[in-house]
Structure 1
Amino acid sequence: MQGIKHCIWLMLSVFILFFCITPSALANSDVKDVIEDIVQWKKQKEHKEGATYLLQAPFVEHAGQGNVDWYAFGLGRVGITDDFVTYQALLHNNVAQRYETEDKLSKTKATEWHRIILATLATGGDPTHINEINLVKDGVYDRTNQRALGAQGINGWIWGLIAIDSMRYQIPKEAAINRERILQNIMSLQQKDGGFALSEGTSDVDLTAMAIQALAPYYNETTSLTYHQKYTQQKRTATVSEVVDEALMVLQQLQQPDGSFTSYGQSNTESIAQVIVALTSLGLAHDDERFTQHGTTLYEALLTYQQKDGGFIHAAKYDATNPSSQPDESNDMASEQALYALAAIMRQQLGYRTLYDLRPEISEDIKQQINVVNAQIQALPQVPTQDQIAQVLQQYKQVPIEERSYVNSFATLQSQLSRHQLALNEPPLWEAYNIATQGKGNVTSLMTTASESLSIEVAEQQFAQLPKLLTTEQYVDVIALLQVFEEANRPQEVKQLQQMKTEIEQIQLEIDAINEEVLDKLYPFSALTLDDKHNVEAIVTRYNKLAPYDQQKVLSHEDIEKSQVQMKNLERAKWIKVSLIIVSGLLAIIVVGRIIRRRMKQEA
């Protein structure tokens, strides 16, 4: 009889799995269209004319900087076709150059490492091997030569945890920082109202959502953590899920009647985007009923900020705290965050890993295990027996521990475990997540065929087409080709490309030096006098030696070209003035002479 009941229960679970768990009504094509609109807007903004890729010169030259990295991250998480190879090459080069400075990537911000780690993985790279640099080590658990992870405040802890969990990286036992300590530090900074912010006071939507994103992989952890709360000055013992649930309640309370969220008094794109990422990190949908206001889902609330050009505005009203944003102009930060929030929605709908989980996709077998366990938990009666709970618990334990965060119904099971005084009796997740030491991130194509590595045949053609007279315009191509030929073990081409790289970098140094001279000696141009003639001639001579493309990178290059004419006009004005003085003097002499001769005649 017991076996028959178990079979009936299992059949019911399968029925729920395939017929009762329905996907969101939002069509994937809708999300895809919005993503493509954002990318097209950004291409138009950066490249003006029709560009094949967003990640091409001159935009990609700044790989390793916020704006470029977050767009690369968003593109990678949907696998949209772009030149990830060139991005990776420029990123490696720029990181290596910055590491030659005293401050490495940043003197004050650990998040510089975290962003680059995520962008590297999202575009198929390995952040533990960037020209022999291990960004994961330097950015999270061994910051010996940089400011401590928590010196930046809660942002350092949040993004450090997101970065280390992106591939479930190992943290050495001897490291001063470990996952448990990071979790305790994040939880200790919870506000009195249950949310999170940069400092004590009212919770901030963005920081609360980001904290949830970082804590999400530990939501199913049953082991409690003990820590000292900074803002209540009290000791607390709690599970991660308790803290996350409190933060979710705060987000519900902060949501506006139109479905939006405010930050610093302004309803804005970025806050909605961060909440979407937070919910999807927990396996919750964008149209979760708790966050649907008067029939408006978070996705629909987000779309109210999209412009006709495809980009997103920061806010519908001018925000004095964000002067770079305009209420009628698509904004870079708003658009990049909308892009990866949409990537989070799309990944969830198609059954892929969450936004910041950059490991290879879950196998179909394990995915099926997860789905069955979720269905069995949902099929539990309102008052299940201990035997029923034990059976589901056994099924849950069959799921690899590093994948259990995807069992999104576990909270229901956990409440029943507590009721029946059952325990997992397994190591906590913060210990189990010590898995990877290295490896490339995963790029899964959700929309189009993702870009492939540049073939050696194509690289040879591009190498042959490089001009003899190089300019900074060829820098991106040279860096990308250099990486290809290094990987192909082609020393002759590598040597030539390294020489080209050095030559172009010398040109860039000259451009930078001229810019410094311009600022120091020629600004403002309207105040130039003949005393500046030598400086003008020296700078103009150096400027004229640059190729036309490089001249465009010189500050106020048009004014430099005009400065020579200005000097000639000043000289002409000077000689005219001198001539007038001389003529006036001669006329005065003539007049005086005539007067003298007239008097002499009169006296005679």
Structure 2
Amino acid sequence: MSKVRYKVLGDWGEYFCCKDQLKKCVAIMLCIVFFAFIFITFPMGNAVAYAEESGATQTDEFLEIAEEIIEWKKVSEGDTENLFSFPFLEDAGASSVDWYAVALGRLGYPDDYNAYLAMVEQDVKKRYQTTGGLDEIKATEWHRIALAVLSCGGDPTNLADGSIDLVADGSYNRGKKAALDAQGTNALFWGLILMDAMRYQIPEGAYDSREDILVSILEVQKPDGSFGEADMTAMALQALAPYYNSEKIYEYIREEDGSSCRQTVRAAIDDALAFLSKEQQENGGFLSGDEESCESSAQVIIALCSLGIDPASDSRFLKSGGSVVDAMLAFQQEDGGFAHTMGTSKQASITEAGTSNAMASEQALLALTALIRYEQRLRNVFDFRMEPNDGIKNQIITLENEIEQLKTAPDAQTAAVLYASYLVIPVEERSYVRNYAALSQVMDEFGISKETEHLVDAMNQNTGGDGAIVPLFGGEMNEILHFTEEDAQSAMNLGGSSVMEDSAAIAILLRKLQKSENRADYADVEAYLLEKQEEVQNLETEIDEINTQISALYPIEEVTLEDYDQVYAIIERIEALAPADRTAISGFEDIAAAKEKVDSMRNTQILIIILIAAGAAFAALLVWKRYSRRKYREK
């Protein structure tokens, strides 16, 4: 991706253009000092729940619907006690599993997160070993898996004993192997979402900076404010949301029409929101192509919640038939799942219409999670940091209430005081002031200068760390793992006839032991599991080599007798495997066909040799008889 140049506008010097401005500056600075003193000296105490302040909420209803989706998914996977069990976990590292992992983790739903993390790490390690990464083109493979790892309480910067960093490889250094947006602009959105998921520090020498990607997103916005259809526009908004309160002005060239743009991220977001409001259907939903889909509504809900906008009540997103939340909930089926489409258009698929769909259900689950977190004043669905303390939350809520009052009676002095309060809030938390834009607008009306808020600079907080889990269903999710005697017995029984059959259990128990607070008590069990894990890795290498050798024989129809030794060498390696492990040979039927063909050729060759030899012997016999007769006559 090409580097993008940008110009920063705004200057503190504007404050000192006259005495009045100087007085305003002094007043603001004194207010900052005062509020900082109050905040530091007097703890705010426990935050008053936002839900209580604003009246009854739908949190309980949303939690109930979310649980219905999870139960539907469990039934579809074989009515398992945990969703993170087999056969579901066999596809860990694929979108069909990972997005459910993101949703469950952000809900804090009780499940076996350790099992998921063990299986997805195993998948990532194998893909890195075989191909050097996750995908040649699709950067979103890194983004999705990294977000799922964070959601389940893991650290995507430190997989495989620190040898794999999904964040670096999939976002700011992706360009070293392939352009971040090689698969499309959605990779830009998710690349920035991942970089901001823990407010990762971007090291010097990175291929792309945070602002490189941010400006690249702004460049692909269309003149009508969209980034494509409703769902793509919503994803772009999810990526840009942390920068909505920034006062920084960017100058860039729009890709679609080559027009010059000079605006804040907030202005770009407002244009996109206007587009979504215009595109919203009268029932509150959104189209994907020419049909309304559950996923499009779900993505818009996540975007609005990320921007601090209530999807159920904001006037811009209320139509005669209801809100976008009403539209999405209409897709729920009697079995608890959500349908992709209800078949309301001519192009709707008959097989999908009105039938619970895995992708639609996962997206609805994420949207419900975003709604719950919005109502409970928790971090946005893709912000995996620990929750701020109650004092900061109360500061933000108090400031928002005062800004609402300011909107009804604008006043320059009050605006200056509230801006000072805003600056007291830690810079990394200012994006959570939901109505700061209204304060900014009042300040502009009265000509009050603002600091150039470079919120991009506040993102460099962490180099790694585990994602935080908040149990929205109650209980305690961040309990310390404890390896039990039952776990130890299960571990020692693994790897009998076939370690491949037990590879998943080996990975899960080993990860649990290594993360347990009593790890030192089971050093012998850990050594055994490490030994079995090495056997699994060696066996996987052997199977990969066998599959590669079989591939070298393709097409099987063209196998010749010259391949006889190679075919039998492969068969010898296969027969050395345990019967259960042979099922992992992808070309097992092909090598059997090759064996049958070369055997037939060899048998034909042997028959020909035998016939030639018999013919030669018969000819020799005739010659001998003729010679014998001649000798007899001569006597």
Same fold (TM > 0.5) = yes
2:225 alignment partner AA = G
Question: Displacement, 1:413?
Answer: 0.4
What is the aligned partner in structure 1 of residue 416 from structure 2? Answer: 390
Q: Could you tell me how far apart the structure 2 residues matched to 1:226 and 1:316 are? A: 43
Q: Could you tell me how far apart the structure 2 residues matched to 1:72 and 1:319 are? A: 32
Question: Displacement, 1:520?
Answer: 11
Contact 2:118 2:508 survives alignment (8 Å)? yes
1:334 pairs, out of 347, 350, 360, with: 360
Higher deviation after alignment, 170-179 or 85-94: 170-179
1:230 pairs, out of 247, 255, 272, with: 255
- The one-character-per-residue Cα deviations of 1:329-384 (angstroms, maximum 9, x if unpaired) are 32111111111111101111122111111100121000000001101101115453
Question: Displacement, 1:30?
Answer: 1.2
Q: Could you tell me how far apart the structure 1 residues matched to 2:466 and 2:180 are? A: 24
What is the aligned partner in structure 1 of residue 109 from structure 2? Answer: 80
Structure 2: segments with no counterpart, 5+ residues:
1-30, 32-47, 557-566, 594-635
Question: Displacement, 1:124?
Answer: 0.5
2:526 pairs, out of 488, 491, 494, with: 494
Q: Could you tell me how far apart the structure 1 residues matched to 2:351 and 2:534 are? A: 38
Q: Could you tell me how far apart the structure 2 residues matched to 1:356 and 1:291 are? A: 22
Confirm or deny that 1:373 pairs with 2:399: yes
1:219 alignment partner AA = Y
Q: Could you tell me how far apart the structure 2 residues matched to 1:520 and 1:45 are? A: 39
Confirm or deny that 1:55 pairs with 2:81: no
Confirm or deny that 1:304 pairs with 2:330: yes
Q: How many residues align?
A: 532
What is the aligned partner in structure 2 of residue 215 from structure 1? Answer: 240
Higher deviation after alignment, 133-142 or 399-408: 133-142
What is the aligned partner in structure 1 of residue 172 from structure 2? Answer: 141
1:476 pairs, out of 496, 499, 504, with: 504
Q: Could you tell me how far apart the structure 2 residues matched to 1:86 and 1:164 are? A: 25
Contact 2:291 2:347 survives alignment (8 Å)? no
Q: Could you tell me how far apart the structure 2 residues matched to 1:223 and 1:397 are? A: 15
What is the aligned partner in structure 1 of residue 291 from structure 2? Answer: 266
Contact 1:24 1:285 survives alignment (8 Å)? no
Confirm or deny that 1:289 pairs with 2:315: yes
What is the aligned partner in structure 1 of residue 389 from structure 2? Answer: 363
1:140 alignment partner AA = S
2:122 pairs, out of 61, 86, 93, with: 93
Q: Could you tell me how far apart the structure 2 residues matched to 1:321 and 1:471 are? A: 49
Question: Displacement, 1:23?
Answer: 3.8
2:144 pairs, out of 112, 115, 120, with: 115
2:371 pairs, out of 345, 355, 367, with: 345
1:468 alignment partner AA = G
Question: Displacement, 1:294?
Answer: 2.2
Q: Could you tell me how far apart the structure 1 residues matched to 2:289 and 2:445 are? A: 42
Q: Could you tell me how far apart the structure 1 residues matched to 2:100 and 2:204 are? A: 35
Q: Could you tell me how far apart the structure 2 residues matched to 1:444 and 1:369 are? A: 21
Question: Displacement, 1:75?
Answer: 0.2
Q: Could you tell me how far apart the structure 2 residues matched to 1:375 and 1:468 are? A: 65
2:526 alignment partner AA = V
Contact 1:82 1:451 survives alignment (8 Å)? no
2:497 alignment partner AA = L
2:208 alignment partner AA = I
Give the direction of change, closer, same or farther, for the CA distance of 1:154–1:52 in structure 2 (3 Å limit): same
Q: Could you tell me how far apart the structure 2 residues matched to 1:81 and 1:514 are? A: 41
> What SS does the corresponding residue of 2:252 show, helix, strand or coil?
strand
Contact 2:247 2:453 survives alignment (8 Å)? no
Give the direction of change, closer, same or farther, for the CA distance of 1:492–1:276 in structure 2 (3 Å limit): same
Q: Could you tell me how far apart the structure 1 residues matched to 2:291 and 2:405 are? A: 43
Contact 1:215 1:240 survives alignment (8 Å)? yes
What is the aligned partner in structure 2 of residue 456 from structure 1? Answer: 483
Question: Displacement, 1:494?
Answer: 3.1
Question: Displacement, 1:126?
Answer: 0.9
TM-score normalised by L of structure 1: 0.79
What is the aligned partner in structure 2 of residue 10 from structure 1? Answer: none
> What SS does the corresponding residue of 1:393 show, helix, strand or coil?
helix
Q: Could you tell me how far apart the structure 1 residues matched to 2:102 and 2:250 are? A: 32
Give the 5 Å matches for 1:399-410.
Answer: 399-410=425-436
2:222 pairs, out of 165, 185, 191, with: 191
Higher deviation after alignment, 236-245 or 167-176: 167-176
Higher deviation after alignment, 130-139 or 182-191: 130-139
What is the aligned partner in structure 2 of residue 176 from structure 1? Answer: 207
2:284 alignment partner AA = G
Q: Could you tell me how far apart the structure 1 residues matched to 2:51 and 2:393 are? A: 18
Contact 1:85 1:454 survives alignment (8 Å)? no
1:157 alignment partner AA = L
What is the aligned partner in structure 2 of residue 530 from structure 1? Answer: none
TM-score normalised by L of structure 2: 0.75
Question: Displacement, 1:316?
Answer: 1.7
Q: Could you tell me how far apart the structure 1 residues matched to 2:354 and 2:576 are? A: 40
Give the direction of change, closer, same or farther, for the CA distance of 1:385–1:327 in structure 2 (3 Å limit): closer
When the two chains are superposed, the root-mean-square deviation of aligned CA atoms in Å is 3.8
1:43 pairs, out of 53, 74, 83, with: 74
Contact 1:24 1:349 survives alignment (8 Å)? no
Contact 2:304 2:311 survives alignment (8 Å)? yes
What is the aligned partner in structure 1 of residue 494 from structure 2? Answer: 466
Give the direction of change, closer, same or farther, for the CA distance of 1:223–1:514 in structure 2 (3 Å limit): closer
Q: Could you tell me how far apart the structure 2 residues matched to 1:175 and 1:507 are? A: 37
Give the direction of change, closer, same or farther, for the CA distance of 1:244–1:467 in structure 2 (3 Å limit): same
- The one-character-per-residue Cα deviations of 1:486-522 (angstroms, maximum 9, x if unpaired) are 4535553333223323444566678889999999999
| Seq. identity, % | 36
What is the aligned partner in structure 1 of residue 596 from structure 2? Answer: none
Give the direction of change, closer, same or farther, for the CA distance of 1:508–1:177 in structure 2 (3 Å limit): closer
